[in-house]
Structure formats: structure tokens, C-alpha cells
A = this chain, B = another copy of it.
């Protein structure tokens, strides 16, 4: 559905499931004369499980000041009656996005190309790489590029990450488009549930380095890619999206890398798009994804 985005808001809710949540939320929105465009919900178990909701609605004339008032009112009239995590996100304000990458370009180019054609609801504030190679390709899209060499020692790593944080400024999402560096626990904690990585295998198969080589050695008949939120444990964060492609005995490791690159860029692009559209809610080490 093509929506006018002005005055459109997305409400995300996570709370223990219990009777009356939907009635309270929809009653509130109806009283405000909001026009509900999409609504999705999920309960892990109506008895003692957790409840998740995504609501997209239009409230004519709503601006950022009005949204602030709406938040206060929602907090008082609805949220205070339930132990609820929630947010009200203005659709007309693009999220700020930073991209970290290394030398290979496929995942990065896919994001930039989709962003340019209006497919990603974001302002890409900066692309940062530990190699200078992709500068021209990035700047061609009018996006600032910075080269921040990665550190070898922990001390150097921390300094590099400080530089990265300064260059990014405030950011709603950090995308690791084949960044190939392990981030420090402090960095990961600071941006919890906001860093999306693309791993070049069908997790949990082939956690860690060189997955295509290991996939080739194992003789698998499908290769895959996995987009997930980054947590302190390598390749163990909540999975957002995965996909696979068929391979045969005639494909060598370079073929797997080439074919895998196509899976990686699409899986990452879908995961980023869904995050930007507030379709992903983290539930422990899993995700609820309200796809269409």
C-alpha cells in the first residue's frame, strides 16, 4: 500500500499476554480518531506468554509536538495499566543509519542502490570502512565515506571504535555490510538491538570464519546467508532473516562465494528494510518479524 507518511505513526508493544490489551489500545486509538492502516499481533502463548503488537495508524494533522503529547497520553491512559515496553515512531522522520564495511562491495552497493531509489526509510549518515577501496563508489551516491583502519590490539580497537562513534554521531541503526571485524563488547552493548550483521552462512551451520570453504568441504547442496542482530557472542544474536540457494558438485569455493554474495545482499537488504519499517521486535534471542 502506498501511504502518505505525514502524520503516520507506528506503535510497537511488547508485554506479558493478558486479556484486554487489544481492547485498551484500539479503544485509545479510536477515541483519538486515528485511522488504523495496518495491525499485527502475536502471542507466544495466551496463557502466561508474551504479547507483541505493531500498529500503523494515521492521525490527521499530527506533527512532532502532537506526537509528544500523544506519547504522554498513551503512557498514562494505556501503558500504565500493563507492564509494557512500547514506542510510538513517526514514519515521516527517516531513521539515521550508518554502514560499516570492508573491501567487498556487494552488500553495501545493494543497500545504497535501494536507498537511492527510495526503498529504505533512512538517512544514511555515513559509510565507514577499515579499507579505503570503496570511497569512490560510496561518494558517487552522495554519501560521506570515512576510512578508519581497524586496530590489532584491544587498545587500538577501542580507539578505532571511538573514532567510528564520533563519525556516526547519534544513530538508529548500524549495518555491518560484510565488515569482517569483531566489535568490542562495550560497542555492542551501547548499540544493543541496533546493529545488524550479515553472516555468510545459514546459521547455526558454519559459525565463524570462512564459511564457504567449510560448506564446500562438507559438500552441502544449499548455501545460505543470515542477517541477525549483533550480540556479545559471535554469530549467536537474534536472527532476522535467512535464505539459501541451491549449489551442485560443479561449484567450487569461488562459485559459492559469488552465488553467496547474491543471497547475502538480498537477505541483508530485507532485514534492514524490516528494521527501518519497525517490523522487527526482539524477544530474548529470537525475533518477531511482522512481514507482509
Which of B39, B58, B238 is the one whose CB lies under 8 Å from A22? B39
* A172 on interface, CB distance cutoff 8 Å: no
Of A20, A22, A41, A255, most buried by chain B (CB within 10 Å of CB) is A22
- Cα–Cα, bound, A250→B51 (Å): 12
Smallest CB gap from A251: residue in B: B292
Q: Which of A245-292 contact B (CB under 8 A)?
A: 248-252, 254-255, 258, 262, 266, 283, 285-289, 291-292
* A46 on interface, CB distance cutoff 8 Å: yes
Given the interface pairs A205-B202, A219-B238, A222-B242, the reply to whether A249 lies near B39 with Cβ below 8 Å is no
Contact mask A37-48 → B, CB, 8 Å, 1/0?
111111101110
Which of B27, B219, B289 is the one whose CB lies under 8 Å from A23? B27
Binds B, one of A28-36, A94-102, A151-159, A160-168: A28-36
* A2 on interface, CB distance cutoff 8 Å: yes
* A140 on interface, CB distance cutoff 8 Å: yes
Given the interface pairs A2-B252, A250-B292, the reply to whether A36 lies near B22 with Cβ below 8 Å is yes
Given the interface pairs A37-B43, A109-B113, A266-B262, the reply to whether A19 lies near B30 with Cβ below 8 Å is yes
Which of B22, B45, B206 is the one whose CB lies under 8 Å from A1? B45
Given the interface pairs A19-B35, A26-B26, the reply to whether A239 lies near B224 with Cβ below 8 Å is no
Contact mask A49-64 → B, CB, 8 Å, 1/0?
0000000001000000
* A123 on interface, CB distance cutoff 8 Å: no
Work out how many copies of this chain go into the complex: 4
* A203 on interface, CB distance cutoff 8 Å: yes
Asked whether, in the complex, the Cβ of A287 is within 8 Å of the Cβ of B242, the reply is: no
Smallest CB gap from A240: residue in B: B221
Which B residues lie within 8 Å of A205 (CB)? 202-205
Which B residues lie within 8 Å of A27 (CB)? 23, 26-27
Which of B30, B42, B46, B248 is the one whose CB lies under 8 Å from A289? B248
- Cα–Cα, bound, A283→B249 (Å): 10
Asked whether, in the complex, the Cβ of B42 is within 8 Å of the Cβ of A46, the reply is: no
Asked whether, in the complex, the Cβ of B218 is within 8 Å of the Cβ of A248, the reply is: no
Which B residues lie within 8 Å of A105 (CB)? 117
Asked whether, in the complex, the Cβ of A249 is within 8 Å of the Cβ of B289, the reply is: yes
- Cα–Cα, bound, A220→B1 (Å): 17
Given the interface pairs A23-B26, A26-B23, the reply to whether A239 lies near B218 with Cβ below 8 Å is yes
* A238, chain B: closest CB distance, angstroms: 6
Asked whether, in the complex, the Cβ of A218 is within 8 Å of the Cβ of B242, the reply is: no
* A125, chain B: closest CB distance, angstroms: 22
- Cα–Cα, bound, A34→B219 (Å): 29
10 contacts between A and B (CB under 8 A): A19-B35, A19-B36, A26-B27, A36-B46, A105-B117, A109-B113, A204-B205, A204-B220, A222-B242, A250-B292
